[in-house]
Every structure is written in structure tokens, then in C-alpha cells.
Chain A
């Protein structure tokens, strides 16, 4: 199948529903394997940090969630562009399906950041560049969620969210840059949590596994949410009614 053909087929929710069942299962199993390996490795086998001790093990959950939360927002921005330019039906479902995942992952990244900050900096909350950026990201997600809740019609709601997600995505790099600059101005904490170059392979390998695992989990979760979203939107079509009639009770 050529890319062009795939692009056109993606416009058909029914086609996507038919092929996506095995995809969700595969991604889910992959995520399970990667996350279990990475987490056990990081928790029990990776060496403690020479400065932070065992609290560095929070990194294996904090860093992947923070990364995936940002990627999810950027994906929504990209889906928003696709929706507004090509009016592809699936794109607005992608936005609708990503908001709950991204919101919970951002909250988790903030919480684990706080739990890591307490033993490292001695305070639950420190205005460091990364945590501040993630906090702003959380507000961006809450805004999307609130806008979606405020508009009754689901199609209208996700198109409105698409506009907001596009504007937000353009802003994310500017926000990150401005927060970095703000930190140098106010001379906050100078001790960075993760310093990639000095990390030995026993530490960055499990981290990499967890990052890949959380991306697979995102993929699996997104596909499954999309499938439910498709059923809801297409519930009055014949193929969905047939599916309901054929499904085991």
C-alpha cells in the first residue's frame, strides 16, 4: 500500500476500526514487556546515583511520562492541522482520544517530579525550568479538557480543541525557551536532576526501555480509545449496528 493510499484510507473510520484491533493488542503487549523490564531493571538492578542515592530511581518513571505528555500535546497539534486543512474525520477523534491520556500523564509527571524534588532539593516544589514547563503544559491540557466539556456537540468540541491545540503547539517551544531564560534571571536551583552525558549505560538503558514502553502504551491506549470513539460517532450506521448485534452479550 502506498503512503498516498494509506492517507486516503485513514479518512475512513470503518477501515481503521477493522484493521486496528490487532494493532492495539500488539502495542499493548509490547508496552507491557518493555515497561516491566525497564521498571524492574531500574528499581532493582540499576546502580544508585553517587549524589542522590536511590531516589534517582524515580527518574525511570518521571522522565518517560514527562516526555510522552509533551509528545501527546504535539500530536494533538499535528492532528489539529490535519483536521483544519484536510477535514479528516479521524483527526478530531485523535484529539478527543489524546486529551485524557495526556492530562493524566502530565499530572503524573508533576507528582513524580515533586516526589523526586523532596529528597533531592529538600522541598516538594521547586520552580525549576522543567517542572515549571510541565506545570504550564498541565494548564494547557486542562484548558483543552474544559473547552471540550463546555461544548455539547462532540464534533464541534473537538474542532474547537483542534484550533486551541494548534495555537498551543506553536507556543510550546516559546514557553520552554522563556521559562529557561526566566530561570537564569532568577538564579534558582542550579542542580539539574538528570544529566544525560554522565549517565552510565546501566542507567540510561532501563530509562530508554521505559521511554519506548510508555510510547507503546500511548499508542495502544490511543488506538483503543479511537475504536470506542469511532463506535460512538458511527453508532447509527449499519456496520456498527451489525457489530453490536453480532457481539457476544
Chain B
């Protein structure tokens, strides 16, 4: 340990401002890179689900049975995927 107390550690021998500015900026940039991917991922799934709902509802209209069969297809594929993986 090259510091004796917490105060000394924070002061960084008088250069505290510059050292902590650098590490703070680094924390922000790292956090941005982590969070932005998560947000993009979540947004993709939300959009995809909305798209899926729109499509099933769109074909649901006059002929109810066609919408039913389509959602049936979807569920079969979902099962297929889960057994495959």
C-alpha cells in the first residue's frame, strides 16, 4: 500500500482532481458501453414482440381460423427451438 490513510489516498499527493477525473470518465465510458448494448438488446426484443403481435392481429381480422392456425405454427416452432437448443 503506498498510502497511509483514506484522505491521502483521495488527495493523490495533490493531484487528486486529475486522477479521479480520469478514473471517473473511464467508469462512465465503460458503463456506457455495457449499458448501451443491454438497451439495444432489450429494444430489439420489445420491437420484435410488437411486430409479431401486429402480424398475428393483422391476419386475425375477418377469418378467425387463419389467425388461429398461424399462432399455432408459432408455438410449434417455439417448441422445436427449445428441443433443439
Contacts and interface: CB of A to CB of B under 8 A. Distances in A.
A58 B22 contact: yes
Contacts of B26: 61, 65, 108, 112
Contacts, number: 114
Interface residues of A, number: 48
Nearest to A58: B22
Contact of A239 (B13, B32, B81): B81
Majority secondary structure of chain A interface residues (helix, strand, loop or mixed)? helix
B44 to A, nearest CB: 5
Interface string A50-65: 0001110110011001
A54 B3 CA distance: 10
Interface in B27-64: 29-30, 32-34, 36-37, 40-41, 44-45, 48-49, 51-52
Given A44-B1, A112-B26, A241-B52, A54 B77 contact: no
Contacts of B37: 221, 224-225, 228
B82 interface: yes
Contacts of A243: 81
Contacts of B75: 245
Nearest to A214: B30
A58 B23 CA distance: 8
